[in-house]
Amino acid sequence: MSTITIHHLGRVDYLPTYAAMQEFTSQRGLQPSSNVPDQLWICEHPAVYTQGLAGKAEHIFLPGDISVVQTNRGGQVTFHGPGQVVAYPLIDLKRAGYFVKEYVFRIEEAAIRTLLYFGVTGHRVAGAPGIYVRLDDPTGHAPVEQSAPNFTGLGKIAALGIKISRNCTYHGVSLNVAMDLEPFTRINPCGYSGLQTVDLSTIGVSVGWAEAADVLSHKLATYLAP
């Protein structure tokens, strides 16, 4: 059974981390996959906007002094900044034995279980990858009936954007812990106008970045296992 090696990178710039993910994935494609253990990189980035392959320039309407980086992940624009846990699973899906749809489900489940650890109920929204919370009742268990682009009463707390090359994954998921959320108001998060972004602090959960990172990393290692 394959295990995931967890690497805590601390606060690192986005571009070198993106390049390192690409290099790792490229190199593992040159040798038998059984020789390269899966990894999970956990980090935090200085303020940066990242555009996915589906990203449209008009969804970033006031970048100000925050850099915009074009990437090859799926999805549209999001923001990374201090106080957000970013997790990059580098998984060989062929060896793990599941496909892309299940991979996305497993990442979302890990985020939901992380929120549950802190007493918060996370929800999926049909047609909009990521995890959402009820703004009026973050701890309640009433199901969410919305589907994109209707996000009434919801706030996005975790964003998902992935890339798969020769069955190997990179990019990943971000969980908002205690951030300056203002930069999200300068974009249409994930391409949706008016979509509110929240963090654990906003909904009344006081937790340190390191603890949230530790919980998320262990949930991901568990739920992404073969």
What pLDDT digit, counting tens, does each position of 88-142 carry?
999 999 999 999 999 999 999 999 999 999 999 999 999 999 999 999 999 999 9
**What distance, in Å, lies between the first and last C-alpha atoms of the chain?**
7
168 given a catalytic annotation: no
- Hey, what are 168's tokens? 């190997």
Is a pLDDT exceeding 50 seen at residue 8? yes
- Catalytic residue, from 173, 187, 190, 212: name it: 190
Q: What is the mean pLDDT of residues 25-30?
A: 85
Please give the tally of structural domains in the chain: 1
77-100 confidence digits (pLDDT tens): 999 999 999 999 999 999 999 999
What pLDDT, on the 0 to 100 scale, is given for residue 1?
46
**Domain of 103: which CATH number?**
3.30.930.10
> Alpha-carbon distance 112 to 107, whole Å?
9
CA 91 to chain centre: 15
39-91 confidence digits (pLDDT tens): 999 999 999 999 999 999 999 999 999 999 999 999 999 999 999 999 999 99
> Alpha-carbon distance 55 to 60, whole Å?
9
DSSP character string of the chain: ---EEEEEEEE--HHHHHHHHHHHHHHHTTS-GGGS-EEEEEEE--SEEEE-TT--GGGB---TTS-EEE-SSSS--EEE-TTEEEEEEE-BHHHHT--HHHHHHHHHHHHHHHHHHTT---EEEBTEEEEEEESS-TT--PPP--BTT--TTEEEEEEEEEEEETTEEEEEEEEESS---GGGGGB-GGG-TT-EE--TTTTT----HHHHHHHHHHHHHHHT--
> Alpha-carbon distance 70 to 156, whole Å?
22
| This prediction's pTM | 0.95
Sheet containing 68-70: which strands, arranged edge to edge? 68-70, 48-51, 78-80
What pLDDT, on the 0 to 100 scale, is given for residue 3?
84
> Alpha-carbon distance 57 to 114, whole Å?
33
Is a pLDDT exceeding 80 seen at residue 32? no
**Boundaries of domain holding 49:** 4-223
